[in-house]
Amino acid sequence: MQGDVILDCKGLSCPMPILKLAMAIKKLEVGKVLEMYGTDPGSKDDVPAWCGKTGNSLLEVVDTEDGFTFFIRREK
């Protein structure tokens, strides 16, 4: 899977990845996918929770050698 826009949040800890995600998703057109890189272990819980609250879709979470990659589609 590949996102339309990449957001690199590696090295950032809570709450910065979610704040940057919220700002980045607002700039995307509805239906586009944000590919977000992160290293904060809390993001594995925070990103799905944020998607549930905001109505955006978490399409996939991939564990990588140095963290995680999230694929989030803007729904509204």
The count of residues in the chain is 76
Global pTM reads: 0.94
49: containing domain: 5-73
Of the listed 6, 14, 19, 23, which one is catalytic? 14
Query: 46-72 pLDDT, tens per residue?
Result: 999 999 999 999 999 999 999 999 999
> Which residue type does 33 have?
V
Mean pLDDT of the chain: 96
Which pLDDT score is estimated for 10? 97
Which pLDDT score is estimated for 65? 93
What does the block give as tokens for 35? 């590919």
**Cα–Cα distance measured from residue 57 to residue 12, given in angstroms and rounded to the nearest whole number:** 22
* CATH classification at residue 9: 3.30.110.40
Active site residue 9: no
Which pLDDT score is estimated for 28? 97
The answer to whether 66 and 39 have CB atoms below 8 angstroms apart is: yes
Angle, CA 14 vertex, CA 20 and CA 7 arms, to 5°: 30
Total domains, the chain: 1
